[in-house]
Every structure is written in structure tokens, then in C-alpha cells.
Chains A and B, each alone.
Chain A
Amino acid sequence: MLAEYLTRGVKAGLVAGLVFGLFMAIVANPLVAYADELNHAATEDGLDTSHSSEQNAEHGHGHDTHDGSGEANHQNTAVSMGVNKTVSVVSGGLWAVLLGGIVFGIGFYFLEPAIPGTGATKSYVLGIAGFVTTSGAPWLVLPPVSPGAQQSLPTETRLLLYGGMIVAGGLTCLLAGGVYNRLRESNGGTIAAVGAAVPFALLAIPTVLAPTNAVEGALSPDLRAGLTGLFVFGQVLVWLVLATTHAQFRSADDSSAEFATSNPDSAVVGD
């Protein structure tokens, strides 16, 4: 029942959280810190990027103590790099647990009958839908930015855009699933798959209509592209691990006839 679904989702979240926490600790933290350091150095060179300095003031102990602007930067950062790193690793874990609980716990419970595919496929389909909703669609408008970059849109606008694209992405996935199920009954799998692709193409409309967010920073374009790619990879990793472990847990509790009370035999769809 709901509790079992939720448990399975959260368990998948814990595994993914462990993986993403490690990713944060080993890969993302050092790289973000490095990028911040580069930004900081650039700021000191006279490039007045007060924005970037908000986040990086901790790295420059070596050279900003005797520098007026460096002092000012320091006051803008509320916590030390150690706290930032630790909290970020823990948050990475919580993030995956949250996604696991919501999407693979509650979401899977309600949507399972409507998700295309059978058995493990359902977990992977849901994983793709989750990625598109929480990250993919918003990133069409606001791609992940590298540290210290200045963005032309104000924060409030970006939050609204991000939230709006989450809603748009979620609706797109639901629509695609609905189209797939409907076409599959009448026209077969191939046409259904093509039909399901149409809603995703519709995501281009809000992407084009949204105001552009110009990004500029002190980092080289190569490094920025690399960091963006890394962040994308990190989120893809989270969803992949979530879906894989969720599928594993599902086949492990194969006796998990969730609605066993009413239908012992047909409750597990296609397993």
C-alpha cells in the first residue's frame, strides 16, 4: 500500500543520496570551489563583479586580507567554506531522498497504473519524467550556470521561470504518458511512441517565449561549459540511480502485491 510505496521510494532515495553526496564531496565541491577561486582572482584584478564575490569570499584568505574590496567581500559571505561543503554534501543526500520520496514514493503510487511499460520499465520511465520535470524543462530556459556568473534576469523572475517550467515539464510528461497509452491501444507501440514525443516538442514554445537570461562571468567559456555539463551529469546520475534502485527494490519485493487484499494475482502488473 501507500506506506510500502513510500518506503521503497525513500530507500531508492537513500541510495541515490549516498551516490549524489559522494559526487558532491569528491567532484562538485572541489570544482565549484576552484571556479569560485578563479572568479575571486578575477574580481581582485579589477573586474568589478560584486555579484560573484557574494559567494566566494572564503577562498581568498591568501590575498584579500590586505585588500579593501576583499574585506568587503568577506562580509558578504555568511559561512565558511567548510560549512558550505559539509552542508552541500548533506543537502545532496537530502535532495535525492526528497526526490525519491516524492516521485518514486508518492508519485509512483498514484501514477503506476498510467505509466507506460511493464515491470522495471515503469521505474525508468518515471525516472526520465522526473528528470525532465525537475531539471530538464527548467534548464531549457535557465541552464545550470557556473559559479560566479552574472545573470541578467533578477532572482525573482528566475524563480518564477524555474517554477513555471517545472509545471510545464510535469504537464508535458503527463500528457505524453496519456497520449502514449491512448495511441497504444488503437495504433500500436511505434505510433504511440511518436505521439508521445509531440508534447516534448511543445516544450520549445515556452522556451522560445521566455525572456533570455544572459550569463557572463570571469571564467573561460570552456570551463563554464564543462561545469554546466558536470551539473547536468550529476542530476542525470541521481535519476538514473533512483530509477535503477527503485526497479531493484520492486523486483525484490515481488510479493509486493500492493493491492493484494483485493487482487492477489493481477496486482503486480506484468512482473
Chain B
Amino acid sequence: MATASDTVHGRIEYAQTHLTPAQLAAGFLLVAALGFTLLFVQEPLVHDSLHNFRHAAGITCH
């Protein structure tokens, strides 16, 4: 924790210099798509097939 690189800021800077915007966008999209599908999609086909899972995860949106 005493070292210069081992701070939250250091890690953010490191990520900023080592990741391309495309990588960031891809990662963000992947997470967003998966999370949104699992948790929030209300479309009947998706919603009904996730029904048991959403109950078990404690998220119920119907």
C-alpha cells in the first residue's frame, strides 16, 4: 500500500494507459448485455424462461 503503483489511482491510470477504447467498449457492452438480459428484459419469452432464476436471485420484475 505504500508503493506508488499500489493505489486506486495508480490502477486506474495503469488501465487507462494499457487498454484501448475499443477494449473498454467491448467489455462494457458485454457486461451490460449479459446483465440486462439476466435481470431486466421483460419480453415474455425471455422473461418466462428466466422466471425461476429471477426468483432465486431475488429479483422479480413481473
Contact = CB atoms under 8 A, between A and B. Distances in A.
Contacts of A92: 53, 56-57
Contact of A28 (B11, B44, B56): B56
Given A28-B55, A78-B44, A88 B8 contact: no
A166 B30 CA distance: 20
Interface residues of B, number: 39
A86 B52 CA distance: 10
A155 interface: yes
B45 A158 contact: no
Given A84-B52, A101-B31, A155-B42, A139 B58 contact: yes
Interface residues of A, number: 60
Q: Is the interface of B mostly helix, strand, loop or mixed?
A: helix
A112 B3 contact: no
Contact of A113 (B7, B35, B52, B61): B7
Contact of B45 (A79, A98, A159): A79
A95 B55 CA distance: 13
Nearest to B52: A88
A47 interface: no
Interface string A192-235: 00000000000000000000000000000000000100111011
Contacts of B25: none
B22 interface: no
A54 B42 CA distance: 12
A234 B11 contact: no
Nearest to A96: B57
A6 B11 CA distance: 14
B59 to A, nearest CB: 7
Given A24-B52, A88-B50, A95-B53, A235 B8 contact: no
A164 to B, nearest CB: 14
A144 B58 contact: yes
Contacts of A78: 44-45, 47-49
Contacts of A144: 55, 58-60
B35 A111 contact: no
A23 B8 contact: no
A2 B18 contact: yes
Interface in A149-197: 151, 155, 158-159, 162
In the complex, which of the residues A32, A88, A101 has the most CB atoms of chain B within 10 Å of its own CB atom? A88
Closest 4 CB pairs of A and B: A144-B58, A88-B53, A88-B52, A87-B49
9 contacts: A1-B18, A28-B55, A87-B50, A91-B38, A102-B31, A113-B11, A147-B51, A234-B58, A263-B6
Interface of B: 1-8, 10-12, 14-15, 18-19, 27, 31, 34-35, 38, 40, 42, 44-45, 47-53, 55-62
Interface of A: 1-2, 23-24, 28-29, 32-33, 51, 54-55, 77-79, 83-89, 91-92, 94-95, 98, 101-102, 106, 109-114, 135, 138-139, 143-147, 151, 155, 158-159, 162, 227, 230-232, 234-235, 259, 262-263, 266-267, 269
